[in-house]
């Protein structure tokens, strides 16, 4: 590799490392790091039709989901695809009843995804609320910071595994120039 390619690799890598360190230090000092991920509750691909239909019936009935878009004439109506129709109902229930693991279970026929299930004229509303790897309600954004997360391990992050990463690209550049 040429010196310019090695330098570009090294400087890009260092830039990423320093940005990561900045976020860790900012979070440690109470500055917080905002995390926002859109989430949907959808029917599992491997769910059987009968349990899906039962869960769909419950969601649209006792569950209180708004199932008008999956009724005949609605933008999400497709009687040939139970998964799509169930997904719409499951997602509506999920958003109305708090974005939690429990509100997207439906007897283990549903799962949370960050992939938008919308298609054609059928638009699925989304929630954005992942914080620290777990659901935190149906807010439009979740924040990680001194009020909502435990950053007591930040000293370990910045003091243990972080620093050995800096000389690795430098070592790579030096050894490639020496022909090793």
- 73 & 113 share domain: yes
- 47 & 114 share domain: yes
Cα–Cα distance, 180 to 168 (Å, whole number): 15
User: Which residue segment(s) compose the domain that 139 sits in?
Assistant: 35-144
**100: which 2 tokens?**
């939690």
- 113 & 167 share domain: no
- 19 & 66 share domain: no
Reduced to 3 states, what is the DSSP secondary structure of residue 26? Answer: helix
- 94 & 61 share domain: yes
Give the torsion sign (CA, 149, 150, 154, 160): negative
- 139 & 94 share domain: yes
End-to-end CA distance of the chain: 12
CB 96 within 8 A of CB 60: no
Give the torsion sign (CA, 90, 93, 98, 102): negative
Number of C-beta neighbours around residue 109 at 10 A: 23
> How high is the pLDDT of residue 93?
96
pLDDT tens track for 58-114: 999 999 999 999 999 999 999 999 999 999 999 999 999 988 888 999 999 999 999
Number of C-beta neighbours around residue 34 at 10 A: 10
- 64 & 117 share domain: yes
Give the torsion sign (CA, 16, 17, 22, 23): positive
Q: Is the pLDDT of residue 32 over 60?
A: no
- 49 & 7 share domain: no
Number of domains composing the chain: 2
Per-residue DSSP letter, 72: T
Q: What is the CATH number of the domain that holds 74?
A: 1.20.58
Global pTM? 0.55
Q: Is the pLDDT of residue 51 over 70?
A: yes
- 14 & 90 share domain: no
- 161 & 86 share domain: no
């Amino acid at each position: 590799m040429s010196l310019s390619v090695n330098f570009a690799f090294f400087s890009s890598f260092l830039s990423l490392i320093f940005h990561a360190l900045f976020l860790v230090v900012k979070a440690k000092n109470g500055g917080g790091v905002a995390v926002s991920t859109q989430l949907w509750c959808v029917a599992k691909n491997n769910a059987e039709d009968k349990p899906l239909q039962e869960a769909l019936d419950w969601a649209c009935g006792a569950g209180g989901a708004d199932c008008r878009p999956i009724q005949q004439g609605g933008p999400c109506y497709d009687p040939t695809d139970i998964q799509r129709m169930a997904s719409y109902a499951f997602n509506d229930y999920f958003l109305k009843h708090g974005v939690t693991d429990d509100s997207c279970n439906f007897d283990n026929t549903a799962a949370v995804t960050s992939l938008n299930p919308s298609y054609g004229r059928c638009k699925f509303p989304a929630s954005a609320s992942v914080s620290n790897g777990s659901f935190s309600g149906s807010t439009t954004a979740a924040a990680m910071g001194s009020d909502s997360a435990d950053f007591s391990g930040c000293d370990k992050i910045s003091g243990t595994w972080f620093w050995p990463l800096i000389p690795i690209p430098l070592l790579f550049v030096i050894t490639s120039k020496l022909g090793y």
